[in-house]
Amino acid sequence: MHKRTTPKVFGHAKQLHRNMTLAEVKLWVRLRAHRLEGIHFRNQHAIGNYVVDFCAPRKKIIIELDGSQHIEQEVYDKERTEYLQSKRYTVLRFWNNDVMNDTESVIRAIIQAMESERHQ
């Protein structure tokens, strides 16, 4: 039993891990194995009833990638973000298109956000 979630949500996270989107795979190559600033990230990380795309648990940073379906689920995304922020996470959101077409800008934004967190 995981302290941060239920077995059902944990199972869903494992399923999502096996079926990552192209944008998630592309960003994961840059985040995995401490490749970004030496920070440990997890992908498809379960927190409460949610599964986040990427999480640096020790830094309390979450990265979410949004596709076109997120245009129609603004209320859900807002509630989800508020829940995660209530757990003291910083939530960064990027469009899949930005990851696919301008990965370097996304990486710079993530580094900048991590540096901002360090100074708070």
CATH of the domain at 22: 3.40.960.10
pLDDT in tens, 38-95: 999 999 998 988 989 999 999 999 999 988 765 667 888 889 999 999 999 999 999 9
1 within domain boundaries: no
Rounded Cα distance, 45 and 73, in Å: 20
Sheet holding 42-47, edge to edge: 42-47, 50-56, 61-66, 90-95
Domain that holds residue 17: 7-118
Into how many domains does the chain fold?
1
pLDDT, position 2: 57
**pLDDT band at 119; cut points 50, 70, 90:** low
pLDDT, position 38: 93
Task: Say if residue 16's pLDDT is above 80.
Answer: no
pLDDT, position 1: 46
2 within domain boundaries: no
- Report pTM: 0.83
DSSP codes of every residue in 9-62 = HHHHHHHHHHT--HHHHHHHHHHGGGTTTT---EEEEEEBTEEEEEEETTTTEE
53 within domain boundaries: yes
